[in-house]
Amino acid sequence: DALRQRHEELSEAVRQLREGRIHLMLDVPLRDWPGLVRAPGVRTFGQAGLRVVFLGFNTLRPESPLRDARVRRAIALAIDRRAILDGPLKYGGEPIAELVPPDVFGHHGSLSELPFDPGASRQLLAQARPGPPLSLGLEYEPGRYPGIDEVASMIAANLKAVGLEVRPTSLASQSLRNRLDAPQGADLFLLGWLHSAGDAVGSFQYLVHSPAGGSTGALSGYSNPEVDRLLEEAAGPMSLSGRMATLRQVAEIVRREVAVVPLYRQRDRYAFAEDLHFTPRRDRRIRAFEIHWHAGARRSPPD
């Protein structure tokens, strides 16, 4: 079992870190984090990262009920994101209301999270889909992100509470992204997007631009001509202020139409030997020439 093997590998890495046999670890398992914070000879550092984990909708099939924005909104309202952050994602995530985190150009900053409102969710579903309850598949890659298996289970339970039957399916041997390039992919999917370029244009083009050229928008099939037009403008020559205003418009449309459901911003967790000088980067890259051993006074990573 690939997931069990992964858990065993991570547990072994934590043990060797405590023993001083390895010296640096990224994405420490959530269950081990409190113990490592107190472990002698180990320093820990956590920061809100550039990866946003979201729930996506596969609208590539013409008959998909997820083409209806009311159904997408109902699903978003049914998910208790705060319970996810307080439960399986404790130490590992922070709330976010949009796809683009604050450290990335194009972050809107004035959008509020969709509330957890099961009652409103049921009403929307009754308006949009009178008749038998929907049965949907939810796909994700187990162990890909810390706590993702438990997150998938919680989402399935939340949606069941409003009358949606959801079948979580783990993809251990296939690329989820390749699977979703075809209409037979999952109805719902969990993915994380790392905004390592520091600019929202490329992220929006891949995630919410209409499918074109076999890549952009291919994850979901979401399509809106106004979003496409705005993204094409933002990718061309314009002032920074104009570009920011254009990207804010995109974020507002994506939020209004619930093209995706941002779930949380991943918190990057590092543990390393106390006499190792290491300053974590925002893009999660670990470069050997930026790490060195030092003696004497301890130097801490930035706040």
In the predicted model, is pLDDT for residue 3 greater than 90?
Answer: no
Higher pLDDT, 211 or 42: 42
Please say whether the beta carbons of 130 and 99 come within 8 A. Answer: no
Please say whether the beta carbons of 181 and 268 come within 8 A. Answer: no
Residue 135's nearest CA partner among 66, 183, 83, 221 is 66
Q: What per-residue confidence (pLDDT) applies to 216? A: 45
For 161-193, the pLDDT digits (tens) are: 999 999 998 875 455 556 555 556 789 999 999
225 confidence band (pLDDT: 50, 70, 90): very high
Prediction pTM value: 0.88
- Counting other chains too, the contacts that 203-211 makes at CB distance below 8 Å and 24 or more residues apart are 203/99, 203/100, 203/104, 203/106, 204/99, 204/106, 204/231, 204/234, 204/247, 204/250, 204/254, 205/231, 205/235, 207/56, 207/99, 207/259, 207/260, 208/250, 208/254, 208/259, 208/260, 211/60
Residue 193's nearest CA partner among 112, 126, 266 is 266
In the predicted model, is pLDDT for residue 118 greater than 80?
Answer: yes
Q: What per-residue confidence (pLDDT) applies to 288? A: 87
Q: What per-residue confidence (pLDDT) applies to 72? A: 96
* 218 CB-near residues (< 8 Å, 6+ apart): 180, 181, 211
Residue 259's nearest CA partner among 100, 139, 48 is 100
Integer Cα distance of 100 and 250 in angstroms? 11
Please say whether the beta carbons of 86 and 101 come within 8 A. Answer: no
- Counting other chains too, the contacts that 18-24 makes at CB distance below 8 Å and 24 or more residues apart are 18/42, 20/273, 23/272, 23/273, 23/276, 24/270, 24/271, 24/272, 24/273, 24/276, 24/278, 24/286, 24/291
Integer Cα distance of 249 and 230 in angstroms? 8
For 242-287, the pLDDT digits (tens) are: 999 999 999 999 999 999 999 999 999 999 999 998 888 888 888 8
* Segment 148-155 mean pLDDT: 94
220 confidence band (pLDDT: 50, 70, 90): confident
Structure tokens given for 164: 């949606």
* Segment 194-215 mean pLDDT: 83
Integer Cα distance of 155 and 289 in angstroms? 42
In the predicted model, is pLDDT for residue 10 greater than 50?
Answer: yes
